[in-house]
Amino acid sequence: MTTRAARFGLSCAVAFACFAPAAARASAADAFENKIKPISGQAHTKAGKLELTLPTGQVSLMDAFFSKYMVGAKLGYHFSEAFSLGVTGAYGTTDPTGSTSVCPLNAGCQPASAPQLYQVPGLIRWTAAAEVGFSPVYGKLNVFGEKAVHFDLSIMAGADLISYRDVISADQASAGVVPGYKVTPGGHIGLGTRIFLSRLIALRLELRDVVYSVSSLSSGKLQNQLFAEIGLSFLIPVGGSSADGGAR
Amino acid sequence: MRTTPVLAAALAAALSWAAPARAQLGIDLEPDETKGKETKPRHEGKKPTDRKKPQHRMPEARPAQPQQEAVTLPDFDIGAKPKKGEGAARLAAASKVLASGDFETAALAYDAILREPALAEAHDEARFQQAKVLERLGLHHSALARLDEILSKGPQGSRRYHDALEWLFHVGGKTVNESVIVSQVARYSNGVFPASSQDEFTYLLARYAYERGQALDEAGRQAEAQRSYEEARRLASQVRPEGGATTKGEGARQGDVYARARFLDGLVRYAMGESQAAVESFKDVVRLTNPKRARAPDPRMRELAFLQLARIHYEHKQNRYAIFYYDKMPWGGDSWLEGLWEASYAHYRIGNYEKSLGNLLTLQSPYFRDEWFPESWILKAIIYYENCRYPEARAILDEFHWRYGPAHDELERLTGKGAPTKFFDLIEDAAKGRGAGANPMMRRIMKLAFTDANIKRLNDSIVEVEKEMDDGVGRRREAFRSSALAKELRERLQADRKRLVDEAGARARQKLEYERDALRELLEKALRIKIEISRKERQALESTLSRGGPADVIRNYRYSVAVSDEHLYWPYDGEFWRDELGTYTYTLTKGCRDASVRAER
């Protein structure tokens, strides 16, 4: 497979300029560079469109204690091909991970008990977030020399509200205290891609790192939760069309 | 139904319009024997747009002017009343200021000498030194005017005549348009040129003779045109091969002057009907501009040489050779689109409809929406017509009418009114996207005007002169700006601008009139093709009725999307990527052409 990509926007160019070697940035081979845009008649545009991702399925990655399975929805608006603003929410269930097994010296391994799990963080019930997306890369993949698949790459950041189960001490757990749920502000950053299935539908894949604070912990209060997300996006034109003028 | 004769005519015309090939207005068309001596400025017999030499250019010829008020500038009082015989001292004082690097004051100091009749013995030197100072101030056109004053006196009239000739090339090389010195070179062609500029001079003289030949040709004076072409060829052959190695000094134009002379020789040979000799000359240019071996790289000249080679081969129906040369044109070069368009005709001639349509896809992409290739729609329609794809052919012609019908009306309206000056103002507005020129249709039409290399060059000169007026003179120190010298320079530049604007306007009008007529022919041709399509459709219908079933003339073509190992197949889905331009191949999946017939073409 071969990948080619176009870069949009001055900010994007600046961001990439930090990483790209000089020769790569000023290709003498491209006589049209700086004269005409990399793409004309772009087939898959986002500017002026509402994007509804429904449903989104989220699964946590690399959490030591709880695997989270969440279902949600996302609604965003693309001000331009590069920038978007959106809100998202997800609700789900959790399962203790395999690593929560307890193996006493004189007995076989067994799953951690509920009081033991009350003492560890990572059980999240729901999340809600507002986020800004920046999508500097639009490209296409040549699949086996037969089919072209269009995609974009984006980065996003946002503010979250996270509902999590509180953490209690071993003594409290032994005393039969059951922890309640708390809501705390947090934030996230993420990377995402859309694989365009048609002009109005895209498969959306994201990787997000959600950061929030668990105040009950005596140390390591700041928690990271990594989520992988998949969803089907519907791009609904509501504003002006793409500045590109559309395809032939 | 072919449009190849139209293209051939267009190619022939285009060959004669190659970048340096077209005559600027103001060329002296009078027979040589009627000319005065070379040292006299020639005013008689020129076109109305010829540069007139205003009397006020000659300071000593002016009526006595009232003594100016003293303008005191740092370290130098240029207003003190001089005594006769003080010239040397004043020159020395001015040189001292010049040596200090204060060019503005130095220019004023020399001007003060020039304005003082009592210092007549120092005028010659002062004028030359002032030209040098003006050049250092970046006032190239003003400097050229001063040099022209010296040169007009002839070798006997000025001790600085030969130095002025040398500086003519030096300053001319810094202007955007080489043509500004061509007429001067021609006027002073009997002067002994410095060895360092001899080849450049001979080349410019050859170019002048060629342009004169073109103008005579256009005026229908073939015999004189032939003589002028002969002269151009003789002069071009005098440019020495080693001359190219010397064109690297400051102010010299980029490229190898010998290669340019060979290119000019090719154009002259072609104009004289010697196509084979022209081909050899253009091949020489290709060799001389080979980027791996060239003494002075000149990609533009190389591109033009390939284009001319392709055109000559196309004209002689050597389509595969033509395609070979069209393919050699650098991707994205100045003439690349033109080459792509012409190559699509060559591909069409050999039955390679896929590549032909692919090239047209590039030309008609949103990238080049403002480019002017109306005939590309006709060619596209013809290809579909020849493959019995009548509905598509009709739709293409409908789109052509929709796009270019209003353009033709606009061209009719534009060319039917207005003085050249206003005409150029309109072009300028369109180029800058202001006023009436902001209209997309107008912008497109005016862009068309700029496809004429001479109009483009004239426009470049106009912009340069305007910049010299506004920035070069207008942004100097107050003492300089308010001086009599600045006033004189501004007046002279304004006169220069007016002359250039008139010339550009006249040329633009001529160009648009040509395009208007060509477009009218294409619209008529489109109509004829439509009638032909209707006839064929009727025949097909009649055939269907007589057989009692559909006449199966359209069949699926066998095609493959396989590409060589060096290429990658990207299916086209309506999206244009910059790096794909020019590489498209449009697959015709069905039609009525016999594959074996296609292969034989």
Task: Decide if A25 touches B, using CB distance below 8 A.
Answer: no
Average pLDDT score, chain A: 83
Min distance B325 CA to chain A CA atoms (Å): 19
Residues of chain A with Cβ-Cβ distance to B332 below 8 Å are: 30-32
Task: Decide if B365 touches A, using CB distance below 8 A.
Answer: yes
Q: Do B577 and A41 touch (CB under 8 A)?
A: no
Task: Decide if A207 touches B, using CB distance below 8 A.
Answer: no
Identify the helix (H) or strand (E) that includes residue A132: strand A124-143
Task: Decide if A244 touches B, using CB distance below 8 A.
Answer: yes
Average pLDDT score, chain B: 79
CB B353 within 8 A of CB B588: yes
- Best interface-test mutation with A: which of B563, B578, B586 has the largest number of A CBs within 10 A? B578
Nearest CA in chain B to A39: B577
Nearest CA in chain B to A41: B575
**CA-closest candidate to residue B130, choices B116, B151, B144:** B144
Checking if the pLDDT of A216 tops 80, the result is yes
Task: Decide if B570 touches A, using CB distance below 8 A.
Answer: yes
Task: Decide if B455 touches A, using CB distance below 8 A.
Answer: no
pLDDT (0 to 100) of residue A240: 53
Tokens coding B519 = 């477009």
Task: Decide if A43 touches B, using CB distance below 8 A.
Answer: yes
CA end-to-end distance (rounded Å), chain A:
27
pLDDT (0 to 100) of residue B471: 87
Q: Do A31 and B333 touch (CB under 8 A)?
A: yes
Residues of chain A with Cβ-Cβ distance to B563 below 8 Å are: 145
Q: State the CB neighbour count (10 A cutoff) for residue A100.
A: 17
Task: Decide if B321 touches A, using CB distance below 8 A.
Answer: no
Task: Decide if B331 touches A, using CB distance below 8 A.
Answer: yes
B388-409 burial: b if 16+ Cβ within 10 Å, else e:
bbbeebbebbeebbeebeebbe
Residues of chain B with Cβ-Cβ distance to A38 below 8 Å are: 577-579
Min distance B517 CA to chain A CA atoms (Å): 29
Q: Which residue type does B46 have?
A: K
Residues of chain A with Cβ-Cβ distance to B581 below 8 Å are: 32
Residues of chain B with Cβ-Cβ distance to A2 below 8 Å are: 568
User: In sequence order, what are the residues at sequence separation of 6 or more whose Cβ sits closer than 8 angstroms to the Cβ of residue A226?
Assistant: A60, A61, A62, A63, A207, A208, A209, A210
- Best interface-test mutation with B: which of A2, A30, A36, A144 has the largest number of B CBs within 10 A? A36
* Cα distance between residue B338 and residue A230, in whole Å: 48
Bigger pLDDT: A6 vs B115: B115
Task: Decide if B440 touches A, using CB distance below 8 A.
Answer: no
Which of B366, B570, B578 has its CB closest to that of A148? Answer: B570
Residues of chain B with Cβ-Cβ distance to A247 below 8 Å are: 574-575
Checking if the pLDDT of B81 tops 80, the result is no
- Best interface-test mutation with A: which of B368, B575, B579 has the largest number of A CBs within 10 A? B575
Q: Do B568 and A142 touch (CB under 8 A)?
A: yes
The three-state (H, E, C) secondary structure of B543-588, written as one string: HHHHHCCCCCCCEECCCCCCCCCCCCCCCCCCCEEHHHCCCCCCCC
Bigger pLDDT: B312 vs A15: B312
Residues of chain B with Cβ-Cβ distance to A137 below 8 Å are: none
Average pLDDT over residues B279-306: 90
pTM of the predicted model, to two decimals? 0.73
* Cα distance between residue B65 and residue B325, in whole Å: 63
The three-state (H, E, C) secondary structure of B417-482, written as one string: CCCHHHHHHHHHHHHHCCHHHHCHHHHHHHHHHCCCHHHHHHHHHHHHHHHHHHHHHCCCCHHHHC
**CA-closest candidate to residue B197, choices B234, B169, B160:** B169
* Cα distance between residue B376 and residue B360, in whole Å: 6
* Cα distance between residue B406 and residue B388, in whole Å: 29
* Cα distance between residue B69 and residue B499, in whole Å: 33
The three-state (H, E, C) secondary structure of B313-376, written as one string: HHHCCCHHHHHHHHHHCCCCCCCHHHHHHHHHHHHHHCCCHHHHHHHHHHHCCHHHCCCCCCHH
Residues of chain A with Cβ-Cβ distance to B336 below 8 Å are: 31
Give residue A176's region: left, alpha or beta (phi > 0; psi -120 to 50): left
CB A32 within 8 A of CB A57: no
Residues of chain B with Cβ-Cβ distance to A42 below 8 Å are: 575
Handedness of CA A231, A234, A239, A245 (dihedral sign): positive
Residue B413 pLDDT grade (very low, low, confident, very high; cuts 50, 70, 90): confident
Bigger pLDDT: A88 vs B196: A88
Which of A4, A145, A150 has its CB closest to that of B569? Answer: A145
ipTM for the predicted complex: 0.72
Residues of chain B with Cβ-Cβ distance to A244 below 8 Å are: 366
CB A101 within 8 A of CB A135: no
B159-188 burial: b if 16+ Cβ within 10 Å, else e:
ebbbbbbbbbbbbbbbbebbbbbbbbbbbb
A-B interface: how many C-beta pairs under 8 angstroms? 66
Residues of chain B with Cβ-Cβ distance to A242 below 8 Å are: none
Task: Return the top range by mean pLDDT from A59-68, B83-92, B436-445, B567-576.
Answer: A59-68
Task: Decide if B37 touches A, using CB distance below 8 A.
Answer: no
* Cα distance between residue B534 and residue B515, in whole Å: 28
Residue B366 pLDDT grade (very low, low, confident, very high; cuts 50, 70, 90): confident
Checking if the pLDDT of B355 tops 60, the result is yes
> pLDDT, tens digit, for every residue of A133-182?
999 999 999 888 778 899 999 999 999 999 999 999 989 998 989 999 99
- Bridge-partner residues for A229, per DSSP? A58, A206
User: In sequence order, what are the residues at sequence separation of 6 or more whose Cβ sits closer than 8 angstroms to the Cβ of residue A154?
Assistant: A84, A133, A134, A135, A136, A137, A191, A192, A193, A194
Cβ contacts of B389-395, under 8 Å, gap ≥ 24: B389/B554, B389/B590, B389/B591, B390/B533, B390/B536, B390/B537, B390/B540, B393/B529, B393/B533, B394/B530, B394/B533
Residue B458 pLDDT grade (very low, low, confident, very high; cuts 50, 70, 90): confident
* Residues 126-155 of chain A whose Cβ lies under 8 A from any Cβ of chain B: 140, 142, 145-148, 150
The number of residues in chain B equals 601
Q: Do B575 and A38 touch (CB under 8 A)?
A: no
Q: Do B578 and A32 touch (CB under 8 A)?
A: yes
Nearest CA in chain A to B562: A145
Q: Which residue type does B405 have?
A: G
- Bridge-partner residues for A75, per DSSP? A52, A87
Give residue B191's region: left, alpha or beta (phi > 0; psi -120 to 50): beta
Bigger pLDDT: B442 vs B586: B586
* Cα distance between residue B68 and residue B115, in whole Å: 9
* Residues 213-232 of chain B whose Cβ lies under 8 A from any Cβ of chain A: none
- Residue % of chain B over a pLDDT of 90: 30
Bigger pLDDT: A182 vs A106: A182
Nearest CA in chain A to B561: A146
Task: Decide if B566 touches A, using CB distance below 8 A.
Answer: no
Average pLDDT over residues B43-62: 34
Task: Decide if B450 touches A, using CB distance below 8 A.
Answer: no
- Residue % of chain A over a pLDDT of 90: 57
Mean pLDDT lowest among A177-186, B428-437, B543-552: B428-437
Handedness of CA B185, B191, B197, B200 (dihedral sign): positive
Q: Which residue type does B181 have?
A: I
Residues of chain B with Cβ-Cβ distance to A36 below 8 Å are: 367, 578
C-alpha angle with apex A204: A203 to A210, nearest 5 degrees?
160
Average pLDDT over residues B508-533: 92
Q: Do A148 and B573 touch (CB under 8 A)?
A: yes
Checking if the pLDDT of B80 tops 50, the result is yes
Min distance B329 CA to chain A CA atoms (Å): 12
- Best interface-test mutation with B: which of A4, A241, A248 has the largest number of B CBs within 10 A? A248
Residue B248 pLDDT grade (very low, low, confident, very high; cuts 50, 70, 90): very low
Q: Which residue type does B303 have?
A: E
> pLDDT, tens digit, for every residue of B461-485?
888 999 998 888 888 888 888 888 8
Min distance A66 CA to chain B CA atoms (Å): 45
Average pLDDT over residues B199-212: 87
Q: Do B577 and A30 touch (CB under 8 A)?
A: no
Checking if the pLDDT of B336 tops 50, the result is yes
Bigger pLDDT: B79 vs A243: B79
Min distance A17 CA to chain B CA atoms (Å): 20
Q: What is the DSSP letter of B22?
A: S
Checking if the pLDDT of B596 tops 80, the result is no
Residues of chain B with Cβ-Cβ distance to A34 below 8 Å are: none
3-class DSSP state for residue B205? helix
DSSP string for residues in B143-191: HHHHHHHHHTTHHHH-TTHHHHHHHHHHHHTTSS-THHHHHHHHHTTTS
* Cα distance between residue A120 and residue A179, in whole Å: 11
